[in-house]
Amino acid sequence: MSDTTKPRIGISACLLGAEVRFNGGHKESRLCTHALAEHFDFVPVCPEVAIGLGIPRQPIRLVGEPGRPLALGTVDASLDVTAPLAAYGQQMAGELDDLCGYIFMHKSPSCGLERVKVYRDNGAPQHDGGRGIYAEAFCAARPDLPVEEDGRLCDAVLRENFMVRVYAYADWQALLREGLSRGGLMRFHSRYKYQLMANNPLQYKVLGKLLGTMGRGDAAEIGPRYFSELMAALKRCATRGTHSNVLQHLSGYLKRSLDNADKQEVQHLIEQYRLGIVPLVVPLTLLKHHFRVHPDPYVSQQVYLQPHPENLSLRNAI
């Protein structure tokens, strides 16, 4: 992806302020319309409007088994839009093949990803929640695509994690455009070393072993498996502990370049970060400064140093 190309992100249309809800209203997310809009090319979709339910319309809700609910009208339960919503989810998963992520509206019987209320036939809510019908069909068809709900993006750690995955997905699309090769895959994995160590240290080794089994001509077969496992590994959120470990590893590359006072300052800030006194950006900025003065070719290619645009300021909040 060039610097000027913004990743395309699918989004529930009501989150962008479109008045498409059952009552003619919207659910604008200012995070999406302000902070994120500058960085992403949003593709708004309202599945309920797309399948022909008008605005306004009777609300629908999920009814039945939480794992396999139906989407029925709340006023007229004979209105069953389960099949059209699922078919539209499959259709859009195929048509929107250039997306690098999707932000879904939470709690919606069509778009919600988690814990959407599911009711029994007698109207009482079930204990377990379900997933919106459109979201379920879309995600089943695109299991590697990074997806998140608007509400969860208010959490700084989840937001940063989602952005890491979106840009990793875009990075992978760029690699696919070049054509998969053994060397290209090895270089890709090498660039993700410290990002993976932050998210999921065990999987870094597992994925390395997977690539180690790759012979000449195997890249087309191993590549998609590698990518699915990479995306699953990146889903796990990095912690202060794993970030601190990565920062320590990175500081090791500077041990011959820094004097004792500089080394102590680096260690002090890593410790302050580990203890929750300063955000991640603080020790990282100091490390980046030292790597500018004492460049290291292996470290400079690491995605971990800047996995998403700096002006999203995601590491100021974690």
Pick the closer one to ligand SF4 by CB: 61 or 193.
61
CB of 253 to ligand SF4, least distance (A): 47
Q: Can residue 72 be called a binding residue for ligand SF4 (CB under 6 A)?
A: no
Question: If you search the block for the tokens 């962008």, which residue do you land on?
Answer: 16
Q: Can residue 135 be called a binding residue for ligand SF4 (CB under 6 A)?
A: no
Q: Can residue 108 be called a binding residue for ligand SF4 (CB under 6 A)?
A: yes
CB of 17 to ligand SF4, least distance (A): 11
Q: Can residue 36 be called a binding residue for ligand SF4 (CB under 6 A)?
A: no
Please answer whether residues 149 and 104 qualify as being in contact, where contact means their C-beta atoms are separated by less than 8 angstroms. yes
Token code pair at residue 252: 């090791």
Q: Determine which residue in the list 8, 12, 36, 207 makes contact with ligand SF4, applying CB under 6 A.
A: 12
Token code pair at residue 63: 């009814």
Which letter, b or e, does each residue of 207-226 get, where b requires 16 or more Cβ atoms within 10 Å of its Cβ? beebbeebeeeebeebbeeb
Helix (H, G, I), strand (E, B) or coil at 219: helix
CB of 36 to ligand SF4, least distance (A): 17
Q: Determine which residue in the list 16, 63, 105, 196 makes contact with ligand SF4, applying CB under 6 A.
A: 105
**Other CB atoms closer than 10 Å to residue 6's CB: what's the count?**
16
**Which residues, including other chains, have CB under 8 Å from residue 201's CB and lie 6 or more apart?**
242, 245
Q: Determine which residue in the list 20, 133, 147, 270 makes contact with ligand SF4, applying CB under 6 A.
A: 20
CB of 151 to ligand SF4, least distance (A): 12
Q: Determine which residue in the list 29, 36, 93, 110 makes contact with ligand SF4, applying CB under 6 A.
A: 110
CB of 21 to ligand SF4, least distance (A): 4
Q: For 33, which DSSP code?
A: I
Side-chain half-sphere of 65: how many Cα atoms within 13 Å?
A: 2
Q: Can residue 139 be called a binding residue for ligand SF4 (CB under 6 A)?
A: no
Question: If you search the block for the tokens 């299991």, which residue do you land on?
Answer: 143
Q: Determine which residue in the list 9, 93, 111, 247 makes contact with ligand SF4, applying CB under 6 A.
A: 111
Please answer whether residues 205 and 192 qualify as being in contact, where contact means their C-beta atoms are separated by less than 8 angstroms. no
The footprint of ligand SF4 (CB under 6 A) covers: 12-14, 20-21, 46-48, 105, 108, 110-111
